[in-house]
Structure 1
Amino acid sequence: MQVLGTKTKPVVDAASKAQPARRAWLWRLVARVGLGVTALVTLVTIANWLWLLSGSNKWELKTDKDGVQVYTMKTPGSAVLKVRGVKRFPEFSLSNHIAPLLDESIQNPTDCAKWVTGCLGYRILKHWDAQTQRNTTLWTVSLFPPFAPREMLLQGQLHQEPQTHVVTLENIAVPNALPPDDCCVRLEHLHNIWRYTPLSDGLIEVEVTYDLDMGGAFPQLLQNLHAPDIVYELLSTDIPKLLRQPRYRNAHLAFLAEGPGPVPAKP
């Protein structure tokens, strides 16, 4: 019964009243997230573009400690940061340094992991040729998730200068030497150079130039950040430890001339 002088107010469902407000809030959130993502992508794109255009094309000293000098070089137009490391070794001969190139036992996964972190396998596709001083090898290396393992199909080329006895070893990617394998991403660009210079005081100056692209959408920034440390650890710790093994320490390669000076005439 309705009392005179009063009006009945309609009952409003609170949930139905809140739905439009909730939808509006969600749309504002989506719009803000979308703007944030767009801004982030734009900033990353601009940063990558600026990085690509940057570079002095000159070697710049990055680290100098424990007898190891590490340099970096950025070339305009390239996203890859080249790294060069230099160290003088008092205890190893040229044969000691080059002996691992001829060591076929590294095909054992346990041994190859001592040379390359994360090594899953190492295969010799073309054995060392004394005439051409060349071989072809395949390294398979694991990466952290979600990145697939990498294959490094490499041609190794050795050369010794007749007058100075400087030995140069180049490892160059030859990705088309074998059909691709679905297991891995094969590196398209790798050109690492090792140079061994015998000095008059008996030391061997080792210089390594590290120039590779991991490919497969691997973050180039991450590679550029870690490459100088990798080269430093290689020269300061990894190489001395490995070359002190008897199989390398006692090696003598007849095709190499030890020490500075002209190469002896071949019989």
Structure 2
Amino acid sequence: METSIPMTAPATRKRPSLPRRIAKGLLIALVALVLLVVLANWLWLRSGSNRWELAIDENGTQIYTLKSPGTATLKVRGVTQSKEFTLSNHLAPFFDADIQKDCGKWVEGCLDYRIIKPWDAQSGYNVTMWTVALFPPFAPREFLLQGELSQDPRTRVVTLENIAVPNRIEPSDCCVRLNHVHNVWRYTPLGDGTIKIEFISDFDMGDAFPKLLLSLGAPSAIHKMLTEENPRLLRQPKYRAARIDFIDEGLTVAAK
């Protein structure tokens, strides 16, 4: 008598549900994105020639960048010339307390601007704080700055340095206060009413803010500031009429 052995059908493998497949795909994409960001930051950190290189040359304004291997920040230098404003016109906003009412006109995303210590001739500096919003998930940044203003008596070159002084007042929970800022404005009268304007931007946004992203947009942003935004703001009547008595305009002295 032959005995038949019943055959059992192979178990059907259950396919993961659609939500689980989507979640798995998103997780893989997130891991890939993180790895890509880490790789990009590593390559960015190793890059750089340690020399000023021309990035933009348009509308009479040149923008240079400097990146040193091993550093995450990019220095940006803008150079332009103008006969439209005097030294006093250029410097008038530095003394304008009314900027506290609407700082967004001067700095995109500005939430607040406070004068911590007004400028006075004896000390030669002031202390101000700019609070600037960033896109999510990054917290707002606080730029607590000491502004040092000086003029060379021989060349009439005016230098305004803004340097981070993060411990000057107590920190706040709302924001990330920057530890590294050294921005420099330099105004050189050329003797015929023309003023050479130089601006060097050197700061680090701190925390986990992507340095590469900041660096990519900096040259065009500074070019726009020098050619469009600042001239438009300086044309306000209160700045046009400004005359700072301790500034030598140097209209007839060419700087060496």
Q: Which TM class, normalised by the smaller chain length?
A: 0.7 to 0.9
Alignment of 1:82-161 (within 5 A): 82-108=75-101, 110=102, 112-161=103-152
Based on CA coordinates, which of the two structures has the bigger radius of gyration? 1
Q: Once superposed, what is the RMSD of the aligned Cα atoms?
A: 2.8
1:210 is aligned to: 201
Identity among equivalent pairs (%): 55
Counting only pairs closer than 5 Å after superposition, residues 210-249 of structure 1 correspond to structure 2 as 210-249=201-240
The aligned runs of 1:70-85 (5 Å cut-off) are 70-85=63-78
Q: Provide the rounded CA distance (Å) in 1 between the counterparts of 2:43 and 2:5.
A: 69
Q: Which runs of 4+ in 1 moved over 2 A?
A: 4-12, 36-51
Shift of residue 226 of structure 1?
0.6
Structure 2: gaps of 5 or more residues: none
Query: Residue in 1 aligned with 2:167?
Result: 176
Q: Distance in 1 between matches of 2:134 and 2:24?
A: 35
Among 245, 249, 254, which residue is 1:258 paired with?
249
Deviations 1:147-196 (A, max 9, x none): 11111000000010010000000000111111111101111111100000
| Alignment TM-score, normalising by the size of structure 2 | 0.88
Q: Contact between 1:83 and 1:227, CA under 8 Å: does it hold in 2?
A: yes
Q: Could you tell me which runs of 5 or more consecutive residues in structure 1 were left unpaired when the two chains were aligned.
A: 263-267
CA distance in 2, matches of 1:201, 1:86: 18
- State the 1:51 CA deviation: 2.5
Q: CA deviation at 1:38?
A: 6.6
Determine if contact 2:191/2:251 at 8 Å carries over to the other structure: yes
SS in 1 for 2:171: coil
**Aligned with residue 165 of structure 1, among 156, 172, 175:** 156
Q: 1:196 aligns with which of 178, 187, 191?
A: 187
How many residue pairs get matched?
249
Q: Does 1:59 align with 2:52?
A: yes
Matched residue of 1:225: which SS? Answer: helix
